[in-house]
Amino acid sequence: MQANLVALPAEEAADFRLLCARNPVACPLLEELAPGTFVSSHAAGSDLRTDIPAYRLWRDGELVERAAPDAIAFWRADLVAFLIGCSYTFEWALEEAGLQPRHVARGSSVPMYRTNVPLAPAGRLRGHLVVSMRPYRGDEIERVRAITRPFVEAHGEPFHWGDAARIGIRDISRPDEGDAVPFEAGEEPVFWACGVTPQVVAVESKLPYVVTHEPGHMFVTDRRHEYLQTPPGRRRHLLGAAD
């Protein structure tokens, strides 16, 4: 199970928690840590300041640091860290079904796009949905939907497929984050909600201080894939599955 990181001052935490509750497809909340803490319950001995390959720092809605190798210098005692589900989590299931995502085959990052789809606001927080894209043939889409649907804490099934302009994407060859991928004959774009969405919220809400991951550089937990395929009330026996 992989996760996106958002860490922001404690006075913003209630609004962000509500944003996740109101937008569970875009921001499936996996964990909220106590202020100033950085050890995730989803990974023994973890450190959210160092265990992600690259970090970003945002001030007043502006990106001021990117691709930082750690977040130790950014971390403050008042920061509340949230882990948000990531669609990278379900890609193994697509591969198992012979539906390997194009960016995986190319060894690149998934293409991500800002859309014109507004989020349900929460307090001072507002923004628009970000989506990730994987191309598939039309006759593959129902299988893709069925495979990814159970992973509701990793954005679940696709949000949209087909005409990208309907969700405000003007040029599919120019993603806002990640790497463009080629299309083969008969393929169309298939879009999932993306955990980079909170970074757009940071910009549009002009949040004073936010630490995030660099898109495509995720926090990898100890939880195996079957953890997300099991109803929450039956997960206790899986908690040691990574040992």
pLDDT tens digit string along 198-228? Answer: 999 999 999 999 999 999 999 999 988 776 7
pLDDT of residue 243: 35
In this prediction, residues 133-155 reach a mean pLDDT of: 97
In this prediction, residues 152-160 reach a mean pLDDT of: 96
Beta pairing class for 219-220 and 29-32: unpaired
Joined together, the tokens standing for residue 72 give 């130790």
Joined together, the tokens standing for residue 182 give 């080629």
In eight-state DSSP terms, residue 203 is: H
- Half-sphere exposure of residue 30, counting CA atoms within 13 Å on the CB side? 30
Range of weakest confidence among 3-12, 42-51, 234-243 = 234-243
Burial of residue 1 (number of CB atoms within 10 Å: 0-12, 13-18, 19+): buried
Q: What percent of the chain has pLDDT over 90?
A: 91
pLDDT of residue 92: 93
Structural Rg of the chain based on CA atoms:
17
Per the rule left: phi > 0, alpha: psi between -120 and 50, beta: everything else, 73 is alpha
Give domain 2-236's CATH number out of 3.20.20.10, 3.40.50.2300, 1.10.10.10, 3.30.2040.10: 3.30.2040.10
Q: What percent of the chain has pLDDT over 70?
A: 93
Q: Of 202, 220, 222, whose CA–CA distance to 212 is shortest?
A: 202
Per-domain boundaries in the chain = 2-236
pLDDT of residue 225: 73
Q: Is 232 helix (H, G, I), strand (E, B) or coil?
A: helix
pLDDT of residue 53: 97
Q: Is the pTM here over 0.85, yes or no? A: yes
